[in-house]
Structure 1
Amino acid sequence: MKRQPCCIECNGRIPFSLLRLESEELKVFVRKRNICLLPVVAFSVMWVRLVGMAYSDEIKMVDGTVLEGEIIKVDGELISLRRRDGSVSGLQMKDVTLISRGNEISIISRQGEKLSVLRIPKSENFSMNDVVWIKKDTLTLQDLGTETTNVAAKVGTPEAKNDAAQPSVAIDEKNAPAETKTVTAPPKTWKGHIDAGLTAKDGNTESTTANLKGGYANERECDNIYFDAIALYEIVTNRDTNVDEVTVNEQRATGKYEYKHTPRFYSFFNQYLEHDEIESLNYRSISSPGVGYRFLDSERLKYKAEAGPAYTLERFHGGITEDSLGVRVGQRLDWQFWRDTKFYAKSEFVESAEDTNDWRVYSGLGLRHNLTKSIAVSFEYLDQYNNMPAEGKMKEDRTFIGSVGYNF
């Protein structure tokens, strides 16, 4: 059974509904507007990268100064560091204490003319400013919790070579007793969060709005696992009749598995589920395998795009069932532009191969700020555009969400 697009007439309650007129020119414009959401984020990411706003390297000097930038070259005893303003500084190796790069920290020992390096794993919330004590195999940090109090080295530290990909740093041997050998458990690869928000109005308008959402990510050496879910609910009381009306009642969940063939190229399987009582939708299932590529994969800036076939199965109230084969294209940007603040942008385009007019776009923008290690606030904008909605329903749903969450 094929659903036909509906024409919603303009009225006083929906002043912007004139945009729903079903002229061929307007349909082409609306479709192009939504499809363009896909490359816009990619262009923005590349621009940010080119102007040099994404840095992941930190260098701590002997005098305690911490420099942040991008290490571009190591030539003998000199480290070339590109700063935020685009300038390049030359740092003498003898003046450096520590280097934090990627997932590792480099500590250097000097014994006469010999140079040796100790590489240890970097904890999740590590910062050079948190280092208060350095020994041969251990960094002692300020009180950031049990997970980051001590970062210990792996047993067996070889002689270091001056490598441009992983430069080394010198350390005072007086605070480096050789008999201290501590090995910690492997760093945690997973993390998650649970957020909730509640808004209540009383007076001219009486309403209650609630949202509950959660996310889980486990990024390992060979594969990644992701899961996120959201539930939205709103009830409005009619003052004239004193009758409660449910205006929002929907739940969405996405599970994804990625297998890394190379550090950047991967294959995946993505499963999306949705329920929406207002649209008389019992469930919508979109199953999609495919391949993807990580164009940017630094500590603070990540961008990936993917594509593959998609199978959509929908069941509506009354027993109406529809299914179709099509294509899915998706992309995601994650940018930690501040130490405790992250921004994300994502979009997905799904189109039926049987009817090219049957397509939809899911997009979202979000900002998350950690007040403490465990407590965070977040703001999100979600947009769903369905070119062929159910009869009597609008094509586009926009949602703004503010919530407080717990990180684990």
Structure 2
Amino acid sequence: MKTARVNLHSPSGPTYLSSAAVMIANKLSGMATAGVKALMVSTLALVVSSLHADEVRTADGSVLHGTVEKIYEGKLYLSTPYAGDLVIPQDQVANFSTDEPVAVRLEGGNVAQGPVQPSSGNELQIQTSAGTMTSSMGAVEASWPAGQKDPAVAAREATLENQLRTWAYEASLDISGKAGNSEKTSTSARLQATLEGPSDRLRLYSNFEYSHDGEETTAKEIIGGVNYTNFFTQKWGWYVREELEKDEFEGIDLRSLTGAGVNYRFYNQERFKLEGRSGLSYRYESYDKVPVDQDATPVVYYTPDSEGYVGMDFGLDVYWKFANWGDLQSKWTYTPAFEDFNQYIVQQDTSVNIPLAISDQWKLGIGVSNTYNSQPEGDKENLDTTYFTRLILNWK
């Protein structure tokens, strides 16, 4: 049959129809309305496009047209313009053909590459550069487009990548000031590095805060810590952590908190994570010397005794991706002493983080941080509250 060229104004370019199809189209075009003409042309184009598609014949004699994406783990994946993506059990496929070269892995590991054409029964013919290779459909272990990876290799690489630990980093900074009747300046910086794999997590962090009101320092604190968690099941794990703090405003020369215990994942979903921990802790505090008599020459100082407490260590971490434009993160810790449960420290840090339009790496964090010490040293307040707006940078 001869082939004629008819411009169907297809987005993909001109389509070639057989002379019979052209005759039918010309015959009907004289009697059809514009709408019918468009439907007729679209139908003919779909018919012709199927002549240039891959073909799958099933065991019951059905014929499906589309693009064979791959064969893997006993399933044939077929992409069609009329029914979307289809997954067909390989034992229900009699044979298939492809317009473009594909790679076919056979039993024994041999790989042949070229267009595939059906032969008799369940036989296939692979047109390789070295000649024609014949195989049964049952001997095909996998198939994929030429030039791409074997699906088994791609799956192993993806599994290995998921098992690898990866580093993630976060840095934040907030600076505020006030001038006029009083001069106030506040600066806070944070840096965090997290090494995480599928079953464990190492987190290193440091915080620095400094503020003054006129000539008086109202905050000067440095915190550094490390937290390691290892999960021996999907939900249960163990942890060990250490945190060091120096707070000149509170007169703390060194405060160290060592904790160890068990972790539990209540929820571990992409958009919502809730994790709690419970264990034992040891808190040690040494203090700076404080003036007793500032009028004396020289000034008389007194250094309070160092203290150590054995107690409990409780914590709760929350992550909630409540919308595409923002997430909420909240961390809580509670460390009471065994000797006196009325002696404890509660810490809380909660922020709503909003991505900035300039990059997904940049966020704006708005939140509040509280530290409550039930028995502070000297005349210091029990509760220390900080409201903040942070510029956050995340990278890997």
2:216 is aligned with 1:249: no
Q: What's the counterpart of residue 218 of structure 1?
A: 195
Q: What's the counterpart of residue 321 of structure 2?
A: 336
2:179 is aligned with 1:202: yes
Query: 1:145-184: CA deviations, max 9, x gaps?
Result: xxxxxxxxxxx9423599xxxxxx8269989961132567
Q: Is the 8 A contact 1:379 1:403 kept in 2?
A: yes
Once the 2 structures are TM-superposed, how far is the Cα of residue 356 of structure 1 from its aligned partner? Answer: 2.0
Q: What's the counterpart of residue 285 of structure 1?
A: 256
Q: Aligned to 1:373, what secondary structure does the other structure show?
A: strand
- TM-score of the aligned structures, taking structure 1 as reference length: 0.56
Structure 1 residues 202, 297: closer, same or farther in 2, change over 3 A? Answer: same
Q: Is the 8 A contact 1:217 1:226 kept in 2?
A: yes
Q: Distance in 1 between matches of 2:147 and 2:265?
A: 40
2:319 is aligned with 1:348: no
**Among candidates 350, 358, 362, match of residue 343 of structure 2:** 358
Q: What's the counterpart of residue 284 of structure 2?
A: 313
Structure 1 residues 252, 326: closer, same or farther in 2, change over 3 A? Answer: same
Q: Is the 8 A contact 1:309 1:326 kept in 2?
A: yes
Q: What's the counterpart of residue 232 of structure 1?
A: 209
Give the letter for the 1:195 counterpart.
Answer: S
Structure 1 residues 227, 159: closer, same or farther in 2, change over 3 A? Answer: farther
Once the 2 structures are TM-superposed, how far is the Cα of residue 219 of structure 1 from its aligned partner? Answer: 2.1
Q: Distance in 2 between matches of 1:161 and 1:347?
A: 50
Give the letter for the 1:300 counterpart.
Answer: R
**Among candidates 171, 174, 181, match of residue 148 of structure 2:** 181
Q: Distance in 2 between matches of 1:315 and 1:135?
A: 71
Q: What's the counterpart of residue 122 of structure 1?
A: none
Once the 2 structures are TM-superposed, how far is the Cα of residue 366 of structure 1 from its aligned partner? Answer: 1.1
Q: Aligned to 2:339, what secondary structure does the other structure show?
A: coil
Q: What's the counterpart of residue 85 of structure 2?
A: 170
Q: Distance in 1 between matches of 2:99 and 2:234?
A: 39
Q: Distance in 1 between matches of 2:331 and 2:68?
A: 43
Structure 1 window deviating more from structure 2 (354-363 vs 262-271): it is 354-363
Query: 1:41-96: CA deviations, max 9, x gaps?
Result: xxxxxxxxxxxxxxxxxxxxxxxxxxxxxxxxxxxxxxxxxxxxxxxxxxxxxxxx
State how 1:3-402 maps to structure 2 within 5 Å: 136=69, 157-160=72-75, 170=85, 178-182=145-149, 186=161, 189-237=166-214, 244-318=215-289, 319=303, 320-371=305-356, 372-402=359-389
Once the 2 structures are TM-superposed, how far is the Cα of residue 275 of structure 1 from its aligned partner? Answer: 1.5
Structure 1 residues 110, 309: closer, same or farther in 2, change over 3 A? Answer: farther
Once the 2 structures are TM-superposed, how far is the Cα of residue 113 of structure 1 from its aligned partner? Answer: 5.5
Once the 2 structures are TM-superposed, how far is the Cα of residue 262 of structure 1 from its aligned partner? Answer: 0.4
Give the letter for the 1:336 counterpart.
Answer: K
Give the letter for the 2:267 counterpart.
Answer: L
Structure 1 residues 203, 112: closer, same or farther in 2, change over 3 A? Answer: farther
Q: Is the 8 A contact 1:110 1:170 kept in 2?
A: no
Once the 2 structures are TM-superposed, how far is the Cα of residue 383 of structure 1 from its aligned partner? Answer: 0.7
Structure 1 residues 200, 219: closer, same or farther in 2, change over 3 A? Answer: same
Once the 2 structures are TM-superposed, how far is the Cα of residue 351 of structure 1 from its aligned partner? Answer: 0.8
Q: Distance in 2 between matches of 1:191 and 1:340?
A: 21
Q: Distance in 2 between matches of 1:200 and 1:380?
A: 18
Structure 1 unpaired stretches of 5+: 1-108, 115-133, 138-155, 163-168, 238-243
Q: Is the 8 A contact 2:331 2:348 kept in 1?
A: yes
Find the structure with the greater CA-based Rg. 2
Q: Give the superposed CA RMSD.
A: 3.1
Q: Is the 8 A contact 1:256 1:271 kept in 2?
A: yes
Query: 1:338-383: CA deviations, max 9, x gaps?
Result: 2342201221110111122211111121111221222211123111
Give the letter for the 2:388 counterpart.
Answer: I
Q: Is the 8 A contact 1:110 1:171 kept in 2?
A: no
Q: Is the 8 A contact 2:68 2:76 kept in 1?
A: no
Structure 1 residues 368, 356: closer, same or farther in 2, change over 3 A? Answer: same
Give the letter for the 1:406 counterpart.
Answer: L
Structure 1 residues 112, 342: closer, same or farther in 2, change over 3 A? Answer: farther
Structure 1 residues 113, 233: closer, same or farther in 2, change over 3 A? Answer: farther
Q: What's the counterpart of residue 127 of structure 2?
A: none
- TM-score of the aligned structures, taking structure 2 as reference length: 0.58
Q: Distance in 2 between matches of 1:174 and 1:364?
A: 60
Q: Distance in 1 between matches of 2:55 and 2:227?
A: 47
Give the letter for the 2:251 counterpart.
Answer: S
Higher strand share: 2
Give the letter for the 1:259 counterpart.
Answer: N
Q: Aligned to 1:357, what secondary structure does the other structure show?
A: coil
Q: Distance in 2 between matches of 1:135 and 1:396?
A: 66
Q: Distance in 2 between matches of 1:180 and 1:222?
A: 35
Q: Is the 8 A contact 1:381 1:401 kept in 2?
A: yes
Q: Distance in 2 between matches of 1:282 and 1:404?
A: 30
Q: Distance in 1 between matches of 2:316 and 2:250?
A: 26
Structure 2 unpaired stretches of 5+: 1-53, 60-66, 78-83, 88-97, 103-143, 290-302
Structure 1 window deviating more from structure 2 (350-359 vs 288-297): it is 350-359
Structure 1 residues 364, 159: closer, same or farther in 2, change over 3 A? Answer: same
Once the 2 structures are TM-superposed, how far is the Cα of residue 110 of structure 1 from its aligned partner? Answer: 10
